[in-house]
Amino acid sequence: MEKQSADTSTRAAFVITSHADIPLLRRLVDRLLAGSPDVRVYISHDIAGEPGVEDLVGPRCTVIREVGGRGDFTQIERIVSLFRLVEADGGADYVTVLSGMDYPARPISDFLDALTSAGDGYLHNFPALDPQGSDWAMHEARQRYLYRWWILWPLSASSRRRWHWLHGVNYVQPFLRVNISYGTFRLAWLRGRLPNGMTVHGGSAWFTISRRAVRHVLATVDSRPDILRWARTSLAVDEVFFQSILLSAGTFDFINSNARYIDFESDGFGHPKVLTEEDLERIDASDAYFIRKVDRARSATLLDKLDERVTGREADDR
């Protein structure tokens, strides 16, 4: 079993959005729950996803099914639903957002120990619309969050390749924007202004936040319909929604990191690389607590090596 810290009293919740590969999801859940008796897991599984997720339900693991999606508000809705489940279950000192393709790089007990001195948690963030401080090109950031987006119709993979040239419209005039990158044809026009009191902060969609931060998010969702209207008609809003709400409050103390190892550079198309055993040295050098993303087949040796470090023995056949 994974070692447990004698003085760790942090009640932790891990909320997971998933779609496929139930065996890999089970392996992730097993690792999380083995880390500490104070860990609870809450899963939102895509309604259209792979069947069998209900087999993971147990005393410390809750499963719900919800509509999935990419680049729109559905991911936010799923995480907010999971936050509400955590609160209804008594709350947690810290809540960590994962996907079914994430995996612990280090013992969960080490992560829980680190949280005791992490303030309000790990939240990668930057001022998204500030040319001096943003990690994004201003053209990309502005079209995501200063335009009102509408989904017109779904697109097949072949259609997306055939119509990719339409993105050229975005560079010749300032009023309309087109996007076909998320499986749908979307059209946007310049919106009037941002919600009152909100500054757009970008960052990683994967994070760990304190209970008071979770409660602030839920209170904002319940009391600010203007922010929800803005979010529902923004693009890739999962990379700004929680950061914008929490950083605009000005009352939280986050470590500006997502505590994860993710390789975006190797893929070249804005998607994280599937990690393998060859990435182990870089993962170790990063001091990350989690990695993203993994695949049950291509990442098998890497996952076994990570498990072996925790258990002190070779991984069981899976």
Q: Tokens 């919600």, residue?
A: 195
Cis peptide before 293 (omega within 30 of 0): yes
Tens of pLDDT along 11-31?
999 999 999 999 999 999 999
Quote the pLDDT of residue 269.
53
Q: What are phi and psi of 102, to 5 degrees?
A: -105, 165
> β-strand 126-127 against 201-202: which pairing, if any?
antiparallel
3-state helix, strand, coil in the chain (%, to 5): 35, 20, 40
Strands 94-99 and 102-104: unpaired
pLDDT for 267:
56
Three-class SS string for 64-122?
Answer: EEECCCCCCCHHHHHHHHHHHHHHHCCCCCEEEEEECCEEECCCHHHHHHHHCCCCCEE
Per-residue model confidence as pLDDT tens for the chain (318 residues): 444 443 445 699 999 999 999 999 999 999 999 999 999 999 999 999 999 999 999 999 999 999 987 767 999 999 999 999 999 999 999 999 999 999 999 999 999 999 999 999 999 999 999 999 999 999 999 999 999 999 999 888 888 788 888 899 999 999 999 998 888 899 999 998 899 999 999 999 999 999 999 999 999 999 999 999 999 999 999 999 999 999 999 999 999 999 999 998 765 456 799 999 999 999 999 999 999 999 999 999 999 999 998 775 544 544
Q: pLDDT at position 312, please?
A: 59
Residues 6 or more apart whose CB falls under 8 angstroms from that of 251 comprise none
pLDDT score at 27: 98
